[in-house]
């Protein structure tokens, strides 16, 4: 595997801002690796991975020389990502140590604020934090993440350079309520999806068990039929045959006095009826799997 050329600072800047604009998280991650490599090329040991992306062994934070780069409308990387609503890219930068509060900006009433005031007022978003941009663009999920997880809660009432615009004046409270409702709805939806999945799995398991039971009963129905016939024959003996013979024999004597069935003929008839009844019962068992009394 060959070694890749170290990117220049301008190449890193162009790639990072392009990935943010396009919402390309994998491309942004690769660009961050190259940016870290370019800023630590002389002091950081690197090795080529199988995907030809050089992985940093020691340094895993984005240096200030990269995180403080300014792009469109003089916005830094984090502010630009928050303005466009790139939540996952902002989270990745936060993991690499990029602040969500632009800590290098002097406080509004510091002694050095007057020196940078003309520069701050030279672009439309002077003094805006990432939270300002997220609120202005109504990125409620990003606002919720900045306030609750990314340490930007202290910027809720922070004034911009004009001394008027704050995240709260841009609808911070309303956006937080919206994010809470969305998160609650997502939790309920996730719970219902899990319940539906479990119900489908339970029904599928029941069907498998029932099919296996029916298959086993269908395989053994002839053997069970033979056992039931033998058991009934032992319990009843020839009593049923004698009863049929007495009843139907007398009727036949009255209607057809010239003909009467013999004992052997009656036995064959009764045996045929018993076999027919057992066969019907076996068909019911093979279809439904349960005995119907």
Q: For the segment 1-14, what is each residue's pLDDT rounded down to a tens digit? A: 345 677 788 888 88
Q: For the segment 102-150, what is each residue's pLDDT rounded down to a tens digit? A: 654 444 444 444 444 444 445 677 888 899 999 999 888 999 999 988 8
Q: Positive or negative, the Cα torsion across 30, 6, 55, 151?
A: negative
Beta bridge partners of 251: none
Taking all residues of the chain, what is their mean pLDDT, rounded to a whole number?
Answer: 75
For 127, phi then psi, to 5°, come to 80, 5
Q: How confident is the model at residue 18 (pLDDT cuts 50, 70, 90)?
A: very high
DSSP annotation string for 38-76: HHTTTT--EEE-TTSPEEESS--S--HHHHT-B-GGG-B
Q: Which domains does the chain have, with CATH numbers?
A: 9-103+122-170 (1.25.40.20), 205-288 (no CATH)
Q: Minimum mean pLDDT among 12-21, 73-82, 229-238: which range?
A: 229-238
DSSP annotation string for 165-194: --TTTTTHHHHHHHHHHHHHHHHHHHHHHH
DSSP annotation of 151 = S
Q: Cα 77 vs. chain centroid, distance in angstroms?
A: 30
pLDDT for position 276: 81
């Amino acid at each position: 595997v060959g070694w890749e050329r170290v990117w220049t600072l301008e190449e890193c800047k162009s790639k990072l801002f392009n990935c943010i604009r396009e919402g390309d998280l994998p491309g942004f991650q690769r660009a961050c690796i190259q940016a870290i490599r370019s800023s630590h090329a002389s002091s950081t040991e690197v090795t080529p991975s199988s995907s030809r992306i050089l992985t940093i062994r020691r340094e895993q934070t984005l240096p200030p020389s990269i995180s403080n780069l300014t792009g469109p409308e003089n916005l830094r990387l984090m502010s630009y990502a928050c303005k466009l609503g790139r939540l996952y890219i902002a989270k990745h930068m936060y993991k690499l140590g990029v602040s969500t509060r632009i800590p290098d900006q002097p406080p509004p009433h510091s002694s050095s604020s007057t020196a940078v005031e003309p520069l701050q007022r030279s672009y439309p978003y002077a003094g805006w934090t990432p939270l300002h941009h997220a609120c202005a663009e109504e990125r409620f999920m990003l606002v919720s993440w900045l306030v609750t997880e990314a340490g930007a809660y202290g910027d809720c009432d922070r004034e911009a350079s004009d001394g008027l615009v704050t995240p709260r004046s841009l609808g911070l409270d309303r956006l937080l309520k919206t994010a809470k409702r969305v998160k609650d709805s997502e939790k309920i939806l996730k719970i219902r999806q899990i319940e539906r999945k479990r119900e489908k799995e339970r029904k599928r398991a029941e069907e498998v068990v029932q099919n296996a039971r029916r298959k086993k009963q269908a395989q053994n129905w002839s053997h069970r039929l033979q056992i039931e016939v033998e058991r009934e024959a032992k319990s009843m003996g020839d009593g049923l045959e004698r009863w049929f013979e007495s009843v139907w024999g007398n009727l036949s004597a009255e209607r057809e006095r010239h003909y009467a069935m013999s004992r052997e003929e009656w036995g064959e008839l009764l045996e045929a009826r018993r076999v027919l009844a057992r066969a019907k019962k076996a068909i019911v068992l093979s279809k439904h799997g349960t005995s119907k009394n």
